Chain A
Amino acid sequence: MNKGFNALYGTIVIAASALAAIAMAAVILIAVGADALGTFRVILTDPLKDTFGLTEILVRAVPLILIALGIAVAFRSGILNIGAEGQMQAGIIAATAAALYLPGLPKAVLLPLVLAAGALGGGIWAWIAGALKARLGVNEILSTVMLNYIAAQFYTFFLRGPMIDPNELQTGSGTPQSPRLPKEAWLDRLIPGTRLHTGLIIAIVLAVLVFLFLWRTTSGFRMRAAGAEEKAARYAGIDVEKYIIAAMVVSGAFAGLAGAVELTGVHRRAIEGITSGYGFSGIVVALFGGLHPAGIVPAAVFFGLLILGADMTQRSMGVPANMVLVLQGAVILAIVSAQMFLGNPYARDRLARRLRLPRRPGPKTLEDAAAEGGLKQ
């Protein structure tokens, strides 16, 4: 076995998994009666054709980056946060409240306060799961998922009750949404005429900060140690419980911030469905990006493309946008399997066997080997 073969093996695995993902998606697309080739073309190329498409990809990438960064902090610290969706909603409630109930502040004060409120809301929501895990050993997957349901109900409650736009009550239409936020709480548009907002800059800066935090600071070291091997961390004197909670709170704060950014940058009022599943896609983005900021940013852009492409497909090809979930699923399965094959020497060996690599002719006998190895006396 040699380098050439290993490179070949890598190429084969990646190509095969890409083909498998396309094939899986194609089968399903054909089954629902769609034009599979056309759909792929639209998903992958239409969003890239003009400024609108490119900016909209980034608009979707921003919350994905923020959430995935938080997820990466949690996963690296050994706690699995599946609750970003709920933490995002908690963040939006807190951010909306801050924007609506702190009137008259200048933008330089209000906007940071609103974003901080979002992070705080998400952080508090996540703290519940972190504390339950650290103090009582409650499985964090269970608790975060359950907290998602609770957050969803709270969110609806606030939008229909305390925070509902008074106009909606006056006109009697009763759409569950908050009033429009004051202008002082808006993130600016980066490119006029598009929806791309300065949240992108926040996301990129935070990606750098997360990298520095995890790999360059003592607290990051503690969190990663606690996540990678809890026992060794404990033996080394690290207060594992404390860092489990801290990691969860940081993770939730990122999800809450993502909510606040989406709120102040895109919609500028809290509406139903504002999270649009980012909390779950963010987990996929984090894993797809190798739980590393340098991987998460491109992964988020790629998923932004997929999500936007799906919207466009729905319009131009008549394929339901939910089909993008199928495509996402297929991509994830392919990636996970490819990673398994790339990391498994047995699998590589098996392929080598199939290809029948040459063996050395005429093996030495035992006597030769013994004579050669020699008894040094």
Chain B
Amino acid sequence: MPSTKRIESLRLEGITKRFPGVLACDDISLEVGAGEVLALVGENGAGKTTLMNILMGLYQPDYGRIVINGEEARFRGPSDAFAAGIGMVHQHFMLVPNMTVTENVALGLKELHHPFHLDLASARRRIAEVSERHQLAVNPEAYVWQLSVGEQQRVELVKTLCFGARFLILDEPTSALTPQETDELIERLKRMTAELSVIFISHKLGEVKALCDRVTILRQGRVAFNGRTQDHTSGDLAALMTGHEVNLPRNACVEACGEQRLKVSALMVRGDRGNLALNGLDLELRSGEILGIAGVSGNGQRELADALAGLRKVESGSIGLCGEEIANRRPRAIIDAGMGYIPEDRHTEGIVPSFSIKENLVLKDFASQRFSTASFLRLERIDENAEELRERFDIRASSTATSAGSLSGGNIQKVILARELARGPKVLVAVYPTRGLDMGAEEFIHAQLLERRAEGVAILLISEELEELMNLSDRIAVIYKGRISKVLEAPEATRRRLGMLMAGLADE
């Protein structure tokens, strides 16, 4: 049984970690006191994850040490870190979907594993104890796959606490949560600080300010700032994080819309479970316009995007792209008709991770006359194209021969954006284009979208970030249960109004 002594203070001193070619952590020091919530903030690739992996014993630092309650601690592996009372909730949950909550917790409690018997009763008792003490309601008999993302996260918290964690590391815990779930989580964490200390990794500065007492900002592997959150505005913190002033660009909303580019009418599409996910959806998109699609995820966004790209069968209804009917055409034909697409899952749908950056940049055009002759690839043109786009879209990589999968999320998204925009699409469908990205990347992508709008591209922006929708859109359509329930002009779209429409309530 691990000791249950409270962690009064945890210090990282001069942590340095070098990987081939990069200094992931360069002399990083930070400190967390009892009952404190420290925000660890930084862009992707700033060294947050490496630092936390060192704290969890997954990596050994090249230099530096970990000091807990004044004593140096050496973690040879995660089990040492658990024993010292440190627990981590990863961004991607570590749960077995086809096991119940109790079984998932029991999985990690080695003392319950008897040769011929798994002591589920004790696990259940411990779950009840923890969820009562921290007001974390979970159903111990539910299967994980039945739970929503928010509930799964509660299970992760309960699990970590059952393992005896007295110090929590939360790696971007809000990235998959809806706004309401995020608020709940923040309230819950505030209560829990009575007994625990927390490191909260995030790059959403609003949450950081709402929850955390102090913030440590990492930039390029170094500590860029260390101080109290309440003394600084979100803007200051963003500037410190990115190294420059951040101004998320806004749509100036000049009436510049041109001819109709996309016309969807009475679209019926089935979801993966055979239900009618789109049930008579209509929308219209003109050139030089950004139409935002707001909605709680699961209301048909995915099916709409798939149907537009030709990846899902259309049961009935029509999709016109510049007057050409594209419903149920092959993806290739739709691409050739002028459809650009930024898919939801950038790692598996947007790029081929094991392919090089330059190969990914021609993923749709490698067979065009520009990049091939008589079905042989023209490698020198593919190289030139890659160099040009790398420059233009600021893709940060040591070489365009690097595999795309090794890039950070922001850079992967830039590769996709570069490919799609360089093709000169007539209509661009962007699905959650900035999900999980840091502010620098978000700023860049927003600016690019607005630039294309000015050039006359018609953009359909599917997003769950109200801020993003309100900043960029000319009009915002709310999707609810497979239909567009209301289309608002940008000036009339307020947070409150959108929120009510997204929840299916009648408009005021």
Interface residues, chain A, CB within 8 Å of chain B? 1-3, 6, 216-219, 221-222, 224-225, 228-229, 231-239, 345-346, 349-350, 352-353, 357, 359-360, 363-366, 368-370, 373, 375-377
Contacts and interface: CB of A to CB of B under 8 A. Distances in A.
Contact of A228 (B20, B332, B355): B355
B359 A232 contact: no
A217 B376 contact: yes
Nearest to B19: A345
Given A359-B64, A360-B63, A235 B311 contact: yes
Most chain B beta carbons < 10 A, residue from A218, A229, A357 = A229
B353 interface: yes
Nearest to B339: A237
B222 interface: yes
B353 A228 contact: yes
B14 A216 contact: no
Contacts of B335: 236-237
Given A217-B375, A225-B355, A346-B59, 4 more contacts: A221-B377, A232-B351, A237-B334, A359-B62
Interface string B35-61: 000000000000000000000001111
A229 B349 CA distance: 8
A363 B63 contact: yes
B76 interface: yes
24 contacts: A3-B20, A216-B376, A218-B367, A219-B375, A221-B359, A221-B366, A225-B352, A232-B350, A235-B309, A235-B350, A237-B334, A238-B332, A239-B330, A239-B332, A360-B16, A363-B64, A366-B11, A366-B29, A369-B28, A370-B29, A373-B222, A375-B226, A375-B227, A377-B236
Nearest to B217: A373
A54 B335 CA distance: 55
Most chain B beta carbons < 10 A, residue from A235, A375, A377 = A235
Nearest to A215: B377
Contacts of A364: 13-14, 27, 29
B18 interface: yes
Contacts of A363: 13-14, 29, 63-65
B153 to A, nearest CB: 26
Contacts of B311: 234-235
A162 B3 CA distance: 79
Nearest to B226: A370
B65 to A, nearest CB: 6
A-B complex: 8 closest residue pairs judged by Cβ atoms: A363-B14, A237-B332, A360-B63, A369-B29, A373-B223, A363-B13, A229-B352, A370-B226
Interface in B118-156: none
B331 A234 contact: yes
Interface string B295-337: 0000000000000010100000000000000000011101110
Question: SS class of chain B's interface: helix, strand, loop or mixed?
Answer: mixed
Nearest to A370: B226
A370 B364 contact: no
Contacts of B240: 375-376
Interface string B343-361: 1010011111111000100
B283 interface: no
Contacts of B353: 228-229
A366 B31 contact: yes
Contacts of B349: 231-232, 235
Interface in B364-407: 364, 366-367, 372, 375-377, 379
A61 B14 CA distance: 56
Contacts of A368: 29
A7 B169 CA distance: 35
Nearest to B331: A237
Contact of A369 (B27, B62, B363): B27
B479 to A, nearest CB: 21
Contacts of A236: 331, 335, 363-364
Given A370-B226, A373-B226, A360 B352 contact: no
Contacts of A228: 352-355
A352 to B, nearest CB: 7
Contact of A229 (B63, B309, B354): B354
Contacts of A229: 348, 351-355
Contacts of A234: 311, 331
B225 interface: yes
A236 B31 CA distance: 47
A359 B63 contact: yes
B266 interface: no
B22 to A, nearest CB: 12
Contacts of B352: 225, 228-229, 232-233
B366 A366 contact: no
B30 interface: yes
A359 B227 CA distance: 28
B341 interface: yes
Contacts of A353: 60, 76
Nearest to B311: A234
Contacts of A221: 359, 366-367, 377
A350 B58 CA distance: 9
A291 B236 CA distance: 52
A225 B363 contact: yes
B18 A1 contact: yes
Contacts of B19: 1, 345
B331 A235 contact: yes
Interface string B78-98: 000000000000000000000
B224 interface: yes
Contacts of B379: 216
Interface string B6-19: 00000101101011
A101 to B, nearest CB: 35
Contacts of B58: 346
A246 B260 CA distance: 40
Contacts of A225: 352, 355, 363
Contacts of B59: 345-346, 349
A357 B377 CA distance: 48
B225 A375 contact: yes
A3 B363 CA distance: 35
A249 to B, nearest CB: 18
Most chain A beta carbons < 10 A, residue from B16, B29, B334, B350 = B29
Nearest to A358: B63
Contacts of A237: 330-332, 334-336, 364
Contacts of A238: 332
A75 B197 CA distance: 49
Contacts of B13: 363-366
B366 A369 contact: no
A161 B55 CA distance: 71
A2 B16 CA distance: 13
A86 to B, nearest CB: 30
